[in-house]
A and B are shown apart, each in its own frame.
Chain A
Amino acid sequence: MKVSVAAAKCVAAGQCVLLAPEVFDQRDEDGVVVLLDETPGPELHDAVRESAMVCPAAAIHLAES
């Protein structure tokens, strides 16, 4: 799985960080998403998929391999 984020769309809701803190973080100054791990391990895939689903800005994209 390859994760990418569209920072320009991110509304800084932080739902992704709550679900997968190993993969996502937020910038201190404006809360915009920071991708920590582009290719998270399989144990994180469910949490990442859930993040992509609930992200209110549709800012998280997954390429499943």
Chain B
Amino acid sequence: MSRVVNQITIVGASAGGLATAEALRRVGYGGAITLVGDEPQLPYDRPPLSKQLLAGQWTPGQLALRPEADIDALRLELRLGVPATGLDTALQVVKLADDTCVPYDALIVATGVRARCVPDADGVAGVHTLRTLPDALGLKERLRPGRHLVIVGAGFVGAEVAATARALGVEVTLLESGPVPLAPAVGEEAGRFLTGLHHEHGVHIHTGAAVTEIVRIGGGVAGVRLADGTVVPADDVLVAIGSVPNTEWLARSGLTVAGGLVCDAYCMAAPGVYGVGDVACWHNPLFGTAMRVEHRTNAAEQGLAVARNLLDPDHRRPFAPVPYFWSDQYDIKVQAYGHLRDHDEALVLDADLKGRQLLVAYRKNDRLVGVLAAGQTPKTLRAWRALIAVRTPWAAALTNTTAA
């Protein structure tokens, strides 16, 4: 089933797309690579947007994923600043917004996700989302001491911005529709620990808060109205209520899109078409489930796996990583390994807010599936990761590690 591949087209020019291009060259592919991206900049890194960039510690130049010379060395045909608008899998061409077409022998879909917004917020000055460099620069401009930022949605992006904004002297109110901030991602136990951290730093937290309206005066934001009628006043509002996969351009392609581009365990969506990064929902055999993870390391690792599977289909291997992410909030780095969502139990092994220490293990059925930690040594974390990677039963994992 090998196909002759001389033209590989990658759509999405960020962490996942660039990693794939780099991996293709590293694995020895000498043919043409076209990298299409709707953002005009050379590929840059997103995690610092809510951290060092927003805090004013880094300049936009420091976000570059690779120096320009390294990108030149990849011999890419770069089509930046122009979105893909359609895909014809029969003719094997990608259609671009400037009415040109890019053919392919193999296609990589790496279009990521965008921030979800609230319906009535379009064009209201002072209402922000955070996904791109211009988003971050626009928000940064407004974060001044004494101003009031209301953050709708206490996920990781919302929580990180809360921490960065507090350090800049901004008044911050965090609104969460659920009972505990961050709980959907990491469970209530870890969520409560992190909530404590935000309380400690003077963030006003409203849980069970359903936002019904962005209140405006003239063309600008004045606050947000909650279901109980209260209005929380704001100079700025950050809407951080999750993301939407960028799959509209695949609409009439025949590919299966269901909460992301659906791929198999080899990250293949159809013959010759692969998904990489935040946009890809693939079957991870290590956990026996389909997953789509919005984690920086996954984009790079999946790019590498796809490059190998694409170029050597006879020796292709399922992509079965232990997902990993980190988050920086105040002086704490939270790190997590595994598949934390949909766990049956989260067991707190260590939680000391003053000592900045946290260790939570996650169980699904009778298996250890994840760990989340702060203030633990790298060795401890790697030991947990190793247990997750070999599908350690829950009981064995606990005796193993409490003894260590």
Contacts and interface: CB of A to CB of B under 8 A. Distances in A.
A53 B297 contact: no
Contacts of B26: 49, 53
Contacts of B66: 58
A28 B379 contact: yes
A56 B378 contact: no
B176 interface: no
A13 B19 contact: no
29 contacts: A9-B62, A11-B47, A12-B378, A13-B324, A13-B335, A14-B381, A14-B382, A17-B378, A26-B378, A27-B378, A30-B333, A31-B333, A31-B378, A49-B26, A53-B19, A53-B300, A53-B304, A54-B19, A54-B297, A54-B301, A54-B304, A56-B15, A56-B47, A56-B296, A56-B297, A56-B300, A57-B45, A58-B64, A58-B65
Interface of B: 15, 19, 22-23, 26, 45, 47, 62, 64-66, 296-297, 300-301, 304, 324, 326, 328, 333, 335, 377-379, 381-382, 385
A50 interface: yes
Contacts of B333: 11-12, 30-31
B24 to A, nearest CB: 11
Contact of B297 (A13, A26, A27, A28): A13
Contacts of A18: 382, 385
B75 to A, nearest CB: 16
A1 B378 CA distance: 27
Nearest to A49: B26
Contact of A28 (B45, B47, B377): B377
Contacts of B377: 28, 31
Interface residues of A, number: 21
Contacts of A30: 333
Contacts of A31: 333, 335, 377-378, 381
Interface in A30-57: 30-31, 49-50, 53-57
A4 interface: no
B187 to A, nearest CB: 22
Nearest to A6: B62
A28 B300 contact: no
Contacts of A14: 378, 381-382
Given A49-B26, A54-B301, A58-B66, A13 B382 contact: no
A58 B45 CA distance: 9
- Ranked 5 nearest A-B pairs via Cβ: A26-B378, A56-B296, A54-B300, A31-B378, A56-B297
Contacts of B385: 18
Q: Which of A27, A50, A53 has the most CB of B within 10 A?
A: A53
A42 B342 CA distance: 43
Contacts of A58: 45, 64-66
Contacts of A11: 47, 326, 328, 333
Contacts of B379: 28
B296 to A, nearest CB: 4
A18 B15 CA distance: 20
Contacts of A15: 297, 301, 324
A56 to B, nearest CB: 4
B372 to A, nearest CB: 14
Interface string A1-26: 00000000101111101100000001
Contacts of B15: 56
A12 B327 CA distance: 11
B326 A12 contact: yes
B47 A12 contact: no
A55 B378 CA distance: 16
Given A13-B297, A55-B300, 7 more contacts: A13-B335, A14-B378, A18-B385, A53-B19, A53-B300, A54-B297, A54-B300
A49 B92 CA distance: 32
